[in-house]
Structure 1
Amino acid sequence: MKKSLLTLSFGTFGLGIAEFVMMGILPAVAHDFHISIPQAGHLISAYALGVCVGAPLTVFVARTLPLKRILMALVAIYAIGNLFTGLTPSYWSILLMRFVSGLPHGAFFGVGSIVAEKLADKGKSARAVALMVAGMTVANLAGVPLGTFLSNLWSWRIIFVANGIWGIINLLAIIRWLPELEPMPNCGLKGQFAFLRNLSPWLLIGSTALANGGIFCMYSYVTPLMTDMAGFSAADMSWIMVLCGLAMVIGNIIGGRLSDKYPMHNVLIGVQAIAASSLIMIFFFASSAAIALPMLIVSSASLFGLSSATQLLLLQNSRGGEMMGAAFVQVAFNMGNAIGAWNGGVAIDANKSVNYTALIGAAYLITACSLVLFYRHWQQLQLKQYSNAV
């Protein structure tokens, strides 16, 4: 395993904790600041907003800098944001620090995907990107549960301080292990967005948002789904979430290997179809623990089984604006998460049972799959037109 690629995985591990650990400690944060849980939930939204702002901002500010230097700056911002999240005394200051913490997230994945592709051995680009993404899956498997445990044992602040220290360690690893890489070709600011004049990247961005939104529509309400309908106890959710995290790790590995072996759009179509089928099964058999739990694990594996192919396909379809194209994956991912969770909440507020979140999510995924099918047809049409012209 290349140490240079390992530094990227270290980064996504810390970013995964920063993004997801807040979901498990909202009651403790709300209690400390004497606010409601919905108000505390704005700390999750602030991070997501930072992700969406930070990706294009990085392109504006740093597109001509060497890639290693960009990654160093992003990790430094992430470390500072997390340290101050754990140390700031007021709700409004921590809200600001959550926004700051989110700024480097999408940009790190964008620049990291470019670096991983450059450092990968021939024919193993998808596996290199999967190794980078693996940090986030490990964060879901071990980092977030451990962070929640430590927060409950001492204070929720300790996990953010520890994550900030991890960011400093990651920065030192990048300085030591990541080789110097040339800046991306300077196509000008307009050139970074030129790829958006084509239909293909829009189809991939839309598919990414819908696929992740579909899974998160159900996943955001996984606790009531498993306890109120499938019959598990609240105590069972700890090991269920560990199983889901392990499924994400395995799904990411399998997705990377499949994407190096088969056309990546076919991998997306297959994984999205599997995810849609698992959500349909959850909708119809939510009251059966023997069916609902395995299908939850399948959908969790599918979530990260899409990552490598999605990142690399957008890189391939954003030549001249690779940094922006790769960063858009994370923007789409977070927008999809927010919309999916909101749509699931609307169904529950309308007095629908919680298994309807899986049905809505399946509809999202079927639409996402349709977009990739159209993308495949569009690419074949473009290739045929090019061949006729030649």
Structure 2
Amino acid sequence: MLKNNKLLIFILTVGVFGILNTEMGVIGILPTIAENFGVSVTQAGLLVSLFALGIAVSGPILPLVFSGMNRRNVMLLVLGIFVIGNVVSIFTTSFTVLLIARIIPALFHPIYMSLAFTVAGSSVSQEEAPKAVAKVFIGVSAGMVAGVPIVSFIDTAFSYEMAMTFIAVVNIIVFVATLIFVPSMPVKEKQSYGSQFSVLRRPVLWVSMFAVLLLNASVFGVYSYVSEYLYTVTQMTPQWTSTTLLLFGGANMLGNIIAGKVLTDYPAKSILLFPLLLGVVYIVLFTIGEYQVPVMLLTIVWGILAGGIMANVNQYLISSVALEAPDFANGLFVTSCNVGTTVGSALGGVLISTMGVKYIILVGILSVVLGLVLIVIRSTLKSSAAQTSASI
């Protein structure tokens, strides 16, 4: 275990905020980017979709490639690439260059995310690892939820360049803090690529990955269109919609704190209970979607479950069945989440175009139900594997 792990975990938390803010922050300023670079909003959207594609492609590969190297050096490399990409994004006048400045960091995104979870978990005892990882997930939640309005506000109040400068400054601060305060972390027992790839032979890992894909689809299939849902179905004003989304973001943070404790104390029960509760929330939301105050209150519960607890549950589902290959497992987690986000958003779009905005909730319900089925299968497979090991 590393000394001064509180400072280490804080740096990792801010680090993942910077990484996620780079990914998600531009969502709120796509119209500005389209205007500045003389492209359509759809073309500007490539900055988001190609970033996500880069993550999905590199997620299972690059964390594995860098798994045997000094973890501090790898984190500095990734942060340096993000800083360079951010700086180029501030000054370039070419949309093509801007795309390249986004795609290259996207390929390295899963490396830092994987290392952040691995390093946080290894900085404490194995029993306390879920709590440490949950603290890092606060940065994930902040990057995904708070980053968009912050960058959008700076763009509106000042300029596109200042908004991109904010993103760059966060990454620069984390780079300097990592350089000064994070100790060298050589990998003492370097594993071969073959030994790490061998975890893919386990059916329980594949079931876990598909469960994570479905659970993430259940969250982002609804969240991707929640503003439209609140406008159309709940008939909230733009101001109340913004307030509701802010409450959702704050609830995300609270959910991470809760997740760390319950996954430490009751892991087996948590991975079944919280997806079940999320399904109940969606059913209630589908029933009372027209009522503003109940929906706002229910959004807080949804935020605790969906943004905070479920993210931690997803990471635990994969990492706990591949303990001997943590970097590779966390890379698979990042990829499974991104594929789930893409699938969920696509299904939500199909339902909106065919049935109407109200029915995006069905994406959440259906995905949660299928995810719960896979979690039950996962528990059975894990129990069988444990019994087989015990009898040998």
Q: Which TM-score band applies after superposition, normalised by the shorter structure?
A: over 0.9
Which residue identity does 1:206 align to in structure 2? F
For residues 238 and 130 of structure 1, what CA distance do their matches in structure 2 show?
26
Deviation at 1:152, TM superposition (A): 1.3
Corresponding residue of 2:272: 269
Which residue identity does 1:271 align to in structure 2? F
Could you tell me which of 345, 348, 354 is aligned with 2:349? 345
Deviation at 1:60, TM superposition (A): 5.3
> Are the counterparts in 1 of residues 37 and 93 from structure 2 also a CA contact under 8 Å?
no
Superposed CA RMSD: 1.9
Q: Would the alpha carbon gap of residues 60 and 372 (structure 1) be closer, same or farther in structure 2, given more than 3 Å must change?
A: closer
Q: Write the deviation string for residues 341-363 of structure 1: whole angstroms up to 9, x where unpaired.
A: 1111111122x121211112210
Corresponding residue of 1:144: 148
For residues 55 and 140 of structure 1, what CA distance do their matches in structure 2 show?
18
For residues 319 and 259 of structure 1, what CA distance do their matches in structure 2 show?
16
Could you tell me which of 3, 10, 13 is aligned with 1:6? 10
> Are the counterparts in 2 of residues 9 and 136 from structure 1 also a CA contact under 8 Å?
yes
SS of 1:306's equivalent in the other structure is helix
Deviation at 1:310, TM superposition (A): 3.0
Q: Write the deviation string for residues 222-258 of structure 1: whole angstroms up to 9, x where unpaired.
A: 1110011102111222222211110110111111111
Residue 102 (str. 1) matches residue 106 (str. 2): yes
Corresponding residue of 2:360: 357
For residues 259 and 2 of structure 1, what CA distance do their matches in structure 2 show?
19
Which residue identity does 2:25 align to in structure 1? V
> Are the counterparts in 2 of residues 256 and 309 from structure 1 also a CA contact under 8 Å?
no
Corresponding residue of 1:130: 134
Q: Write the deviation string for residues 98-140 of structure 1: whole angstroms up to 9, x where unpaired.
A: 2123223222121111111111256321111011111122334
Could you tell me which of 359, 369, 373 is aligned with 1:370? 373
Q: Write the deviation string for residues 139-175 of structure 1: whole angstroms up to 9, x where unpaired.
A: 3454432211001122233222221222121011112
SS of 1:161's equivalent in the other structure is helix
Query: Which moved further from structure 2: 196-205 or 16-25?
Result: 16-25
User: Which residues of structure 1 form unaligned runs of 5+?
Assistant: none
SS of 2:149's equivalent in the other structure is helix
Taking structure 1 as the reference length, the TM-score comes to 0.93
Q: How does 1:289-300 map to 2 (within 5 A)?
A: 289-300=292-303
> Are the counterparts in 2 of residues 46 and 96 from structure 1 also a CA contact under 8 Å?
no
For residues 294 and 105 of structure 1, what CA distance do their matches in structure 2 show?
34
Q: Would the alpha carbon gap of residues 380 and 122 (structure 1) be closer, same or farther in structure 2, given more than 3 Å must change?
A: closer
Deviation at 1:185, TM superposition (A): 3.1
> Are the counterparts in 2 of residues 14 and 167 from structure 1 also a CA contact under 8 Å?
yes
Which residue identity does 2:238 align to in structure 1? A
Q: Write the deviation string for residues 17-60 of structure 1: whole angstroms up to 9, x where unpaired.
A: 11222222222222223333222221111111221233344235
For residues 371 and 102 of structure 1, what CA distance do their matches in structure 2 show?
30
Corresponding residue of 1:62: 66
Deviation at 1:184, TM superposition (A): 5.9
Corresponding residue of 2:228: 224
For residues 83 and 241 of structure 2, what CA distance do their matches in structure 1 show?
30
Could you tell me which of 269, 272, 284 is aligned with 1:281? 284
> Are the counterparts in 1 of residues 27 and 48 from structure 2 also a CA contact under 8 Å?
yes
SS of 2:357's equivalent in the other structure is coil
For residues 44 and 146 of structure 1, what CA distance do their matches in structure 2 show?
17
Q: Would the alpha carbon gap of residues 23 and 383 (structure 1) be closer, same or farther in structure 2, given more than 3 Å must change?
A: same
Corresponding residue of 1:199: 203
Which residue identity does 1:353 align to in structure 2? G
Could you tell me which of 245, 251, 256 is aligned with 1:241? 245
> Are the counterparts in 2 of residues 279 and 358 from structure 1 also a CA contact under 8 Å?
yes
Deviation at 1:328, TM superposition (A): 1.2
Q: Write the deviation string for residues 180-230 of structure 1: whole angstroms up to 9, x where unpaired.
A: 223163332222211011011111111111111111111111111001110
Residue 186 (str. 1) matches residue 190 (str. 2): yes
Q: Once the two structures are aligned, what percentage of the paired residues are identical?
A: 24
SS of 1:65's equivalent in the other structure is coil
For residues 76 and 278 of structure 1, what CA distance do their matches in structure 2 show?
41
> Are the counterparts in 2 of residues 7 and 174 from structure 1 also a CA contact under 8 Å?
yes
For residues 366 and 25 of structure 1, what CA distance do their matches in structure 2 show?
35
Q: How does 1:145-184 map to 2 (within 5 A)?
A: 145-183=149-187
Could you tell me which of 366, 372, 382 is aligned with 1:379? 382
Residue 73 (str. 1) matches residue 77 (str. 2): yes
Q: Write the deviation string for residues 233-285 of structure 1: whole angstroms up to 9, x where unpaired.
A: 1122222221111011011111111111112x421221111111212222222
Taking structure 2 as the reference length, the TM-score comes to 0.93
For residues 370 and 307 of structure 1, what CA distance do their matches in structure 2 show?
18
How many residue pairs get aligned? The number is 387
For residues 99 and 2 of structure 1, what CA distance do their matches in structure 2 show?
32
Which residue identity does 1:276 align to in structure 2? G
Query: Which moved further from structure 2: 93-102 or 8-17?
Result: 93-102
Q: Would the alpha carbon gap of residues 109 and 184 (structure 1) be closer, same or farther in structure 2, given more than 3 Å must change?
A: farther
For residues 313 and 172 of structure 1, what CA distance do their matches in structure 2 show?
33
Which residue identity does 1:38 align to in structure 2? T
